[in-house]
Amino acid sequence: MDGEGKKGEIYELKAELNSDKRDRRKEAVKKVIASMTVGKDVSQLFPDVINCMQTDNLELKKLVYLYLMNYAKTQPEMAILAVNTFAKDCNDPNPLIRALAVRTMGCIRVDKITEHLCEPLRKCLKDEDPYVRKTAAVCVAKLYDINQQLVDDQGFLDMLRDLLSDSNPMVVANAVAALSEISEQSPQIKIFDLNGPTVNKLLTALNECTEWGQVFILDAIANYSPRDDKDAQSICERITPRLAHANSAVVLSAVKVLMKFLELIDQNSEFVENLYRKLAPPLVTLLSTEPEIQYVALRNINLIVQKRSDILKNEMKVFFVKYNDPIYVKLEKLDIMIRLTNATNIAQVLAELKEYATEVDVDFVRKAVRAIGRCAIKVEQAAERCVSTLIDLIQTKVNYVVQEAIIVIKDIFRKYPNKYESIIATLCENLDSLDEPEARASMIWIVGEYAERIDNADELLEGFLDGFKDENNQVQLQLLTAIVKLFLKKPTETPQELVTRVLTVVTQETDNPDLRDRGYIYWRLLSTDPKAAKEVILAEKPLISEETDLLEPTLLDELICHIGTLASVYHKPPNTFVEGRFATKKNLPLRSGVNNNDSDNMGNGVQSPNYQQQVVINNNVGSLIDDFDILGPMPNTSSQGIDIFSQTQQQQQQRAPSAIPNLLDDELSSILGIDSNMGNNSTSNMNTNTSIPPNRANTSGGNLLDDLFGDLNLSSGAPGISFSNNNTFAMPKEVWLSAPKGKGLEVTGTFARRNNQIFMEMDFTNKALQAMNDFALQINRNSFGLTPTQPLHVPSPLFPNQTVSAQLVLNNTGPITKIDPLTNLQVAIKNNLDVFYLNCIVPIHVYFVNDGEMDKMTFVQTWHDIPESNEVRHQLQNAYDLSIDDLQNKLRLNNIHTITRTTIEQKEMLYQTIKLTNGIFILIELKITPGNRTIALERKFPAAQGAIRCVRYNIDGTYCLTSGSDRTIKLWRPDSSLAIKTYTGHSQEVLDVHSSFDNSRLCSGGVDKRVLYIDVMSGKIMKKYQAHAGRVQAVRFNEEASIIYSASIDGTVKIWDVKSRDYDPIQVLDDAKDSVTSISLGNNELLTTSLDQRVRIYDIRYGKLYEDYIGHNLTYINISHDQQCFLVGTLSSQMMLFDKINGKLLQTFVDYTNNTYMIENALSNDDQFIYSGSEDGRLICWNLLTAEQICAVEHEVDNRKSVNTLSHHPKDEKLLTAQEGNIYIWRKTDEIIEEKPEIKKSFITEKKINPPKFVSGGFE
């Protein structure tokens, strides 16, 4: 009957839905929705409801859409019918309907529909109405949730990013929300790149958008990592006004950003103090909101107080509990009160807590009583008062109060031994009323501990023992220990009898293994050596710590990053309650300059989401090997005439053929390899460029000897240094076990070879809250048979925050197992907490033994015996200009022995051998091409015009122009450093200058927004154009010098006709969405770069614009001389070379610094080389084809100021650069230009790798 009734209802609805009266249809749809809400299945009505969709009644339409969203998934075929209506609605003149359509379409999760969604969505993203745009922005996120690939392919992400610059703040806010969500879903791709300019835009939008928009934006900004403390400060300043917002979510999100960025700011600065003052009142105000919000706020305040208790130290009173507060608010307030308790306010707090202990809610009362105990432990001066308060409470005889009091008193006894024993009598009075296990256990512990002062201790314990079997496990354990204690303290008759009884029961009649084991141990102890038993059982207990209830610091830091969110309410990291999605772990940012290992890791964690220490090491090594795999068998380098080869000889049977060469090659290259980035004192680089893991940041090799050479350079200065024996090389320590993985234990370590022994050096750091002890270490079987010669000695206990170093001598007598990679070593470290397993890579140089020298003849013989296939070649650089003798010495120290040295074709050849601990010999041929620096300084002269903003050669290179911060332009004859003329006319710094083809005119642009057109001879200003809204960053003449192009920060390129009398530009190119940073002229094209990350190519003949999205902030563009490619400089320390025709990325040039300034670049006249300045004061040259860095020259030894501008001589191999106020002229050394392939390497090495062999009885 029932089923029929339902059926009848549906039939009725069906009829009504198809009625021709509009009102009836509407009523019917309402009924359908009502049934849907209650959970009835009305999906059968799908076609009928869809029929009602074509209506101009907005209300009805919305209802139909609602229905559609619910049931489309169940009826995908039918849902397609709706597509047309959607498409039509998306073109409706009413923006409300357009938005409604796009909003609903995104909610229909049917694959077939999503395809049809793309076109309307694209249109709506560019709609003229902001209401439609803001809806479309969210729709992109919806679509991404359904089909990521589609969103990628259709370019919606770019469109979404464009919306960040929308004029309407609400559109911006929704775009931020959508981008944040998308990037959270795909953390591996960098979708939402928060950089300085973006954040700036967001901060501007923040002032104008709705409260919710402000929340989205603030939450997004919280993920930004400021460049430095100034950046952080200025963002903080702009965010603090939000603290006065009425919406608590806005306030909490602002607090989150501030708490995060506070980490980056000098903690002692006035700024921080001010911020503290500003943070307190809004937090307090949150307590007068609705209770639910109060709860969220209190949970967050709890975190904030743990992290920075100073903020609220004077606000104790506001956390006093009100009678009518909901219980959850009360409990939280209590928690915070205790955290804020100190000696000055303890009296007040105690009075309050006493009051609370008389309330009705049992949980609350218990917590209050416990709180009193915690106060006693925290504030020593107040301990006595707390204890007397507790005694008062015990006198009330309220059962749960008494029990709770006894539990805390136990803790107080532990904290202050031998101080309050006088109250034991009172406690004993209440023995019978205790019925909870924890309270009983506590009482028994007290009796046992003070057995000698309690006359009837034996009676009391006996009483407990009678009901032993019914007790809770916890109580049983405690009772066992207490009785044994009693016996040891008062070895009289009754206790003895008690002990026998309890031990019998425990060992024979109980099932609990813990209890039984403890019983056996006591028994054995007591029966064999009572004295030892006394020492063990009555040993001094470690003091109880003050803050047992604090969150673990790493967790706390993570939670601080989640202020306002659920994670902060639950006090759990998000991945514990969020399903499925890959949640990135957030960490607090770290101040630069704090440079311990740990901090580096933390800092990294923020920027690179896939931060995993252990994996990083392996990955890196893996990739190194891969690299050399390619180099090894397929020596494409040698085809360019690079004479490197090496051979591996006497292949050992049982090893994989490729394993050893690769391994060694890797190592040798790292020994001899030079990575200029690492070597050239640019550790500062590494700090700024934090996306690279701190250890092994190098890209090309593990550069061991690089550091080794560095050492040498530092220690000596003069040639011919004597080498001490200690001067062997060791890698810096790296993190083997990170604190989170090691339950608070952090291990960093390295290997070194000293006095022919292999040392494993480790630092153990305790980052947990408790002390650690019982350290031990074991090494798994490994390829070289390394085993420790003695047990690990770590002074224990290791207290929290303490670091100790330990050294372990290893020898290679252990069992051998091949593991991959060969140098891998598996180590197990044990402490009292757990056993930790870790992998570390043993640098191969520690295996080099000192008796590896070989007879010359044998060497030659062996060399020839090695098959070609065992050869590996590699080329290395020596940036330190070590002499060959020094090099030899240095290598010898590390047990790389030189057999002979000859000169062939003006190149020094070194033949060397290495012997590994397992008897394998490696033969090396090292060919050294004595080279000069590729670029030599020809001339340097001061320009005397403040800081130089640009240097430019004229058309034939005989003259040059410079512009300076002193508002002048100067004309020079660079070859004689002769200043010919000074031009004035700008009212502020001059940023760019260009001379005409006939040298008769100049154009210039500057901060004063002017573009000047100057006569060179007279210095007269012919034209002054002043139409830009911001400073002019670049100016260029066209070929005939009839037109000036000027690019400005206002986002436009303006074109001026110098022949015309008009002072208005003849054309304005305003396609850029952000400041235009540079222009370059091709034959028929104008190329511009902009901070909106795009290159725009204007084809002048056809009037076409090509846009290329690069994805980095672009600062400078250069078109190659053959007009085929263009080179752009970016603010992410890489230059990129693109094919102009098809926009393909041809090459990326790295290893220089460009994060802040506009650094110019240049191409050599034959397009073979690329030059760029760098922010660390170097001039760098790359090979265009291979992207290899050829050389990097420092401008001044001590001056690392940025080199912003440079200009290549139009005919010669000369360069003009400027650093601060000086102009430098560089010339490429001739010889190098002659033999082109070798330029890249000033040192060319050659090595042979050879041959594994276990030699039995020598190598003859």
The tokens describing 729, both together, are 């090389």
Smallest separation, CB 275 to another protein (Å): 13
Does 2 sit near another protein (CB under 8 A)?
Answer: no
Does 566 sit near another protein (CB under 8 A)?
Answer: yes
Q: Which helix (H) or strand (E) holds 462?
A: helix 457-466
Span from 53-61, 594-602, 826-834, 875-883 in contact with another protein (CB under 8 A): 53-61
The beta strands (E) that lie in 317-469 are given as none
Q: Which helix (H) or strand (E) holds 1218?
A: strand 1214-1219
Cβ(507)–Cβ(489) below 8 Å: no
The tokens describing 536, both together, are 């063990």
d(CA 1082, CA 1076): 17
Smallest separation, CB 738 to another protein (Å): 23
- Angle 196-206/229-239 helices, nearest 10 degrees? 10
Pick from 10, 18, 35, 95: which binds another protein (CB under 8 A)?
95
d(CA 375, CA 385): 10
Smallest separation, CB 142 to another protein (Å): 5
Span from 358-366, 454-462, 620-628, 713-721 in contact with another protein (CB under 8 A): 358-366
DSSP class of residue 629 equals: H
Does 44 sit near another protein (CB under 8 A)?
Answer: no
Does 399 sit near another protein (CB under 8 A)?
Answer: no
Does 395 sit near another protein (CB under 8 A)?
Answer: no
| Phi, psi dihedrals of residue 750, rounded to the nearest 5° | -155, 170
Smallest separation, CB 604 to another protein (Å): 22
Smallest separation, CB 1138 to another protein (Å): 37
Smallest separation, CB 364 to another protein (Å): 10
Pick from 163, 567, 631, 1206: which binds another protein (CB under 8 A)?
567
Beta bridge partners, 748, equal 735, 763
d(CA 341, CA 338): 5
Does 828 sit near another protein (CB under 8 A)?
Answer: no
Pick from 131, 400, 863, 997: which binds another protein (CB under 8 A)?
131
Span from 212-220, 1012-1020, 1037-1045, 1181-1189 in contact with another protein (CB under 8 A): 212-220
Does 276 sit near another protein (CB under 8 A)?
Answer: no
- DSSP assignment of 1200-1249 equals ---EEEEEE-SSSSEEEEEETTEEEEEEE-HHHHHSHHHHT-SS------
DSSP class of residue 1170 equals: E
Pick from 81, 107, 692, 792: which binds another protein (CB under 8 A)?
107
Does 219 sit near another protein (CB under 8 A)?
Answer: yes
Does 358 sit near another protein (CB under 8 A)?
Answer: yes
The beta strands (E) that lie in 853-904 are given as 897-904
Report the side by side order of strands in the sheet with 935-942: 935-942, 1222-1228, 1214-1219, 1203-1208
Smallest separation, CB 337 to another protein (Å): 12
Does 359 sit near another protein (CB under 8 A)?
Answer: yes
CA distances to 606, 616, 678 from 613, in Å: 13, 5, 20
Span from 267-275, 573-581, 611-619, 675-683 in contact with another protein (CB under 8 A): 573-581
Pick from 565, 599, 607, 858: which binds another protein (CB under 8 A)?
565
Question: Whose Cβ is closer to another protein: residue 36's or residue 819's?
Answer: 36
- Of 168-197, binders to another protein (CB under 8 A) are 168-171, 174, 177, 181
Does 362 sit near another protein (CB under 8 A)?
Answer: no
Q: Which helix (H) or strand (E) holds 1232?
A: helix 1230-1234
Q: Which of 589, 556, 583, 553 is nearest to 299 (CA)?
A: 556
Does 564 sit near another protein (CB under 8 A)?
Answer: yes
Span from 34-42, 694-702, 811-819, 977-985 in contact with another protein (CB under 8 A): 34-42
Q: Angle at the Cα of 305 (from 251 to 340), degrees rounded to 5? A: 125
Does 282 sit near another protein (CB under 8 A)?
Answer: yes
CB-based burial label for 246 (10 Å; 0-12, 13-18, 19+): exposed
Does 886 sit near another protein (CB under 8 A)?
Answer: no
Smallest separation, CB 50 to another protein (Å): 18
Does 207 sit near another protein (CB under 8 A)?
Answer: yes
| Phi, psi dihedrals of residue 834, rounded to the nearest 5° | -170, 180
Pick from 2, 21, 38, 470: which binds another protein (CB under 8 A)?
38
Cβ(220)–Cβ(209) below 8 Å: no
Span from 28-36, 804-812, 944-952, 1162-1170 in contact with another protein (CB under 8 A): 28-36
The tokens describing 153, both together, are 């392919």
Does 57 sit near another protein (CB under 8 A)?
Answer: yes
The tokens describing 487, both together, are 């016996």
Span from 57-65, 651-659, 910-918, 1188-1196 in contact with another protein (CB under 8 A): 57-65
- Of 414-473, binders to another protein (CB under 8 A) are none
- Of 583-622, binders to another protein (CB under 8 A) are 583
Instruction: Name residues whose C-beta falls within 8 Å of residue 1074's C-beta, 6 or more positions apart in sequence.
Output: 165, 197, 1051, 1090, 1091, 1092
Pick from 268, 288, 654, 1256: which binds another protein (CB under 8 A)?
288
Pick from 3, 5, 39, 1258: which binds another protein (CB under 8 A)?
39
Question: Whose Cβ is closer to another protein: residue 57's or residue 1147's?
Answer: 57
d(CA 944, CA 567): 59
Span from 559-567, 897-905, 913-921, 990-998 in contact with another protein (CB under 8 A): 559-567
Question: Whose Cβ is closer to another protein: residue 328's or residue 941's?
Answer: 328
| Phi, psi dihedrals of residue 413, rounded to the nearest 5° | -60, -40
Smallest separation, CB 340 to another protein (Å): 14
Q: Which of 483, 493, 440, 441 is nearest to 461 (CA)?
A: 483
Smallest separation, CB 329 to another protein (Å): 9
Cβ(302)–Cβ(556) below 8 Å: no
Question: Whose Cβ is closer to another protein: residue 581's or residue 1020's?
Answer: 581
State the number of binding residues for another protein (CB under 8 A): 107
Q: Which amino acid is at 886?
A: D
Smallest separation, CB 39 to another protein (Å): 6
Question: Whose Cβ is closer to another protein: residue 318's or residue 560's?
Answer: 318
Pick from 201, 212, 1100, 1221: which binds another protein (CB under 8 A)?
212
d(CA 780, CA 373): 49
- Of 337-356, binders to another protein (CB under 8 A) are 351-352, 355
Question: Whose Cβ is closer to another protein: residue 97's or residue 961's?
Answer: 97
CA distances to 622, 656, 851, 1259 from 785, in Å: 22, 18, 19, 21
Smallest separation, CB 274 to another protein (Å): 12
Span from 163-171, 648-656, 866-874, 1221-1229 in contact with another protein (CB under 8 A): 163-171
Smallest separation, CB 1137 to another protein (Å): 41
CA dihedral 1171, 1174, 1177, 1181 (to 10 degrees): -20
3-state secondary structure of 346: helix
Pick from 320, 759, 997, 1259: which binds another protein (CB under 8 A)?
320
Question: Whose Cβ is closer to another protein: residue 245's or residue 733's?
Answer: 245
Beta bridge partners, 970, equal 962, 982
Does 62 sit near another protein (CB under 8 A)?
Answer: yes
Q: Which helix (H) or strand (E) holds 1086?
A: strand 1085-1090
Question: Whose Cβ is closer to another protein: residue 180's or residue 1080's?
Answer: 180
Is there a cis peptide before residue 197, judged by omega within 30 degrees of 0? no
Is there a cis peptide before residue 974, judged by omega within 30 degrees of 0? no
DSSP class of residue 242 equals: G
